[in-house]
């Protein structure tokens, strides 16, 4: 059997303030294999984005563990977690998170440059051509449509050939038709690159295209399988 690329065990997240302690996630456990796609679904406020942040090591749990590509995320210090993210993870956000003062090409080159890749310009150019933006290399984000900006974000995420891609409502800022095109491209790239895809979505059609759906209900993993509804 293919080994788990993500292994989550008894993950719990609590936050405290003057009014008391709130449990956002409670005793979540699941595994995902390499090349698998999974949609995290559930009502607003159920803890979906919190779970995604913990999978990336961007937040620290109150209890439990996450193993990413064989590494225990929370046994590492922040510098080591950042290095693991750079090596193994790609990110796509609802708000694109492009740098406004950099061109499409420069945005996609950035993670390669940070990794010390000498072929950053060539690799970024090839990736932008793959997502249909070969004629937009020198355009700044403000000159691109929302769908084009999200394609730049996809190119930036996939150019480092991550083992896992995490996407948080990747079509949330797009109209339906544009969102469908972006998701088709994301699934195509996922298949081509052999990446494990984990996405948070409210869109039932998108969730249904994934191999598995993880239903979060009031901070608990209520169900996981192939035929759940978002």
Domain count, the chain: 1
Within-domain flag for 194:
yes
- Domain membership of residue 28 (yes or no) is no
CA distances 141 to 100, 133, 149, Å, are 6, 12, 6
Assess contact for 38 and 214: CB atoms under 8 A.
yes
Count the neighbouring beta carbons within 10 Å of the beta carbon of residue 73. Answer: 22
| Cα angle for residues 175, 181, 182 (degrees, 5° grid) | 85
Say if 114 falls within a structural domain. Answer: yes
**Residue 68 lies inside a defined structural domain of this protein:** no
Reading the chain (230 residues) residue by residue, the pLDDT tens digits are: 567 999 999 999 999 988 889 999 999 999 999 999 999 999 988 999 999 999 999 999 999 999 999 999 999 999 999 999 988 999 998 888 999 999 999 999 999 998 889 999 999 999 999 999 999 999 999 999 999 999 999 999 999 999 999 999 988 888 888 889 989 998 988 888 899 999 999 888 899 999 999 999 999 998 787 645 43
CATH code (residue 192): 3.40.50.300
Q: Residue 219 sits in which domain range?
A: 35-60+74-225
DSSP tally for the chain: helices H, then strands E:
7, 10
The verdict on residue 20 lying in a domain is no
Beta bridge mates, 161:
none
Q: 22 in a domain, yes or no?
A: no
In a domain, 65, yes or no: no
- Residue 21 belongs to a domain: no
């Amino acid at each position: 059997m293919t080994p788990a690329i993500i292994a989550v065990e008894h993950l719990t997240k609590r936050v405290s303030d003057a009014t008391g302690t709130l449990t956002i996630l409670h005793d979540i456990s699941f595994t995902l294999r390499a090349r698998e796609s999974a949609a995290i679904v559930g009502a607003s406020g159920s803890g979906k984005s919190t779970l995604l942040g913990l999978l990336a090591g961007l937040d620290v749990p109150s209890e439990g563990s996450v193993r990413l590509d064989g590494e225990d995320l929370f046994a590492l210090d922040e510098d080591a977690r950042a290095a693991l993210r750079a090596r193994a993870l790609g990110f796509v956000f609802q708000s694109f998170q492009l740098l406004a003062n950099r061109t499409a090409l420069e945005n996609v080159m950035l993670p390669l440059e940070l990794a010390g890749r000498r072929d950053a310009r060539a690799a970024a150019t090839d990736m932008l051509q793959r997502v249909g933006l070969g004629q937009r290399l020198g355009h700044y984000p403000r000159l691109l449509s929302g769908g084009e900006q999200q394609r730049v974000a996809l190119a930036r995420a996939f150019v480092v050939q991550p083992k896992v891609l995490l996407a948080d409502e990747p079509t949330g800022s797009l109209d339906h038709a544009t969102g469908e095109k972006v998701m088709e491209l994301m699934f195509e790239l996922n298949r081509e690159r052999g990446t494990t895809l984990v996405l948070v979505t409210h869109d039932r059609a998108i969730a249904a295209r994934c191999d598995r759906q993880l239903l979060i209900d009031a901070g608990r993993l209520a169900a996981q399988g192939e035929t759940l509804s978002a």
